[in-house]
Amino acid sequence: MNYKMWINGEWMDADSGRTYPVINPANGEEIAQVPLGGKTDVEKAVAAAKNAFPAWSAKSQAERSAIVNTIGQAIRENIEELAMLDCLDHGTPITTARRMVMGAVVNLEYNANTARSLMGDVIPISPNSFHSFIREPVGVCALIIPWNVPLIMIGAKLGAALSVGNTCIVKPPSIDSLAALKFAEILHNLDIPKGAINIITGPGSTVGEAIASHPDVDLISFTGSCETGKDIMEKSSNSIKRLVLELGGKNPFIVLEDADLEAAVERAVFSSYNNTGMVCASPGRYYINEKYHDQFVDMFVEKAKKITVGDPLDENTWMGPVVSTEHRDKVEYYIQSGIDEGAKLILGGKRPDNPPLDKGCFVMPTVFTNVTQNMKIAREEIFGPVACIMKFSSEDEVIDLANDTSFGLCASVWTKDITKAMKFAKKINAGAVWINDHLTISPEMPWGGFKESGIGKENSVIGLEEFTQLKLIAMNLA
């Protein structure tokens, strides 16, 4: 099947006429062709968004919110088809894919409704003057979507940007574009003003670079790797764009000596292998108190062995393949580096050889122990189903270890002592710290990291505000 891009309310091929294949990671088969967009296609999309901005931003907040809610409802009515495309394109198990589609709906509806609560501020400087801040849309926003949870991120980014009056160019990931193009088809059947939303496909090296360097793009919201985020910062600096960057993580999961071990293991296994470990908030490093270490490892491995890995279309499958052969090779590179550096591989680490899994990009649930702080698997983001477990003895030691990283996305601490938990939450240098939980994220919760994990926040009222700019109005009443 051949897909098209959606620019200015019209279906378009790439100017080059070229396409590229979409491969099902579960079996290696080609399932579609999508347009190989380029610089001239970006020019069309940016021009369409720029032309649409005055009329879209002039709509009342109630009108914009109603339209975004309509989009959410239309997504809700197409759950099964969107989930099926996510299965085929990304390898997401069907039960998980349905939840991800609903995640897009929830984000769209939350942003549409919360935008109606955004307010300015009056500053009481003197009785003879009136000073206020008002919020205005930024302009043309480029939304660069990651391949691990594309629909959720489209819902979050587009819902926020559109609701407060911006027009948008959505660049879906090149290896996971089908759900976004189906999303465009849904939009095409709605009464969306032409140019308010544009969807253009192609690789980051051409389409992404053209977007980042375009002088008429006012804001870029990107979720992905630190390396790409840094490149976007460099390319966008010629016109000083607004940036919202949600980048990588190597997130500590800390189990103290008084933790509820059963609850910690339950959440640890879910967090490590949900979406085949391809989640920026997954635990990258497990720090287990020496009192519990061996017991934790035994319980973790026993539970991980019970995970059903298989065909994403099977309702009983809990974990599917990684997204591509290239990413499988990357994950396997890290597994081999762990072995070479002396970590102990106690589960997984090999490709399945049983049909039909032998034809897909499967990486089995993998567990390392005897990991040390300076190993590559302890310092770099693997983004796959690999758990790296370490032992610690003192609380001060583990806080130092948790902060010994260039990342600062999230962390979790497991303890029954709430005073101790709050001490850890304050001392860990990360944008989010869970206590007795991990990987719980909702539209109401502001999300974004410290250090090389990003700039700005998504979700919540704070995330909406990222897509606005503050204007001071000052009036002399004397």
* Residues carrying an active site annotation: 246, 280
Residue with tokens 């239309």: 74
Query: CA of 339: how far to CAs of 182, 375, 388, in Å?
Result: 42, 10, 12
Give me the sign of the Cα torsion angle 396, 402, 408, 412: negative
Write the DSSP string, 272-287. Answer: HHGGGG--TTSEEEEE
> Which residues, 6+ apart, have CB-to-CB distance to 460 below 8 Å?
114, 443, 444, 445, 446, 447
Write down the number of H helices and E strands in the chain.
15, 20
- What's the token pair of residue 398? 């583990």
Q: How far apart are CA 268 and CA 271, in angstroms?
A: 5
Task: Tell me if 120 sits within 8 A of 184, measured CB to CB.
Answer: no
Q: Which of 140, 193, 266, 186 is nearest to 8 (CA)?
A: 193
CB 274 within 8 A of CB 241: no
Contact 215, 250 (CB under 8 A): no
Q: Whole-angstrom Cα distance, residue 352 to residue 380?
A: 25
Backbone angles phi, psi at 439, to 5 degrees: 65, 30
| Beta bridge pairs of residue 141 | 168, 219
Residue 16, classified by CB atoms within 10 Å of its CB into exposed (0-12), middle (13-18) or buried (19+), is: middle
Per-residue tokens: 296: 């934790």
CB proximity list for 28: less than 8 A, separation 6 or greater: 325, 359, 360, 361
- Element containing residue 72 per DSSP (H, E): helix 61-76
Residue with tokens 């691990």: 148
396 vs 11: CA distance, rounded Å: 58
Burial of 307 per CB tally in 10 Å (0-12, 13-18, 19+)? middle
CB 94 within 8 A of CB 87: yes
Question: Could you tell me which residues come within 8 angstroms of residue 473 by beta carbon, excluding any fewer than 6 positions away?
Answer: 130, 131, 132, 133, 134
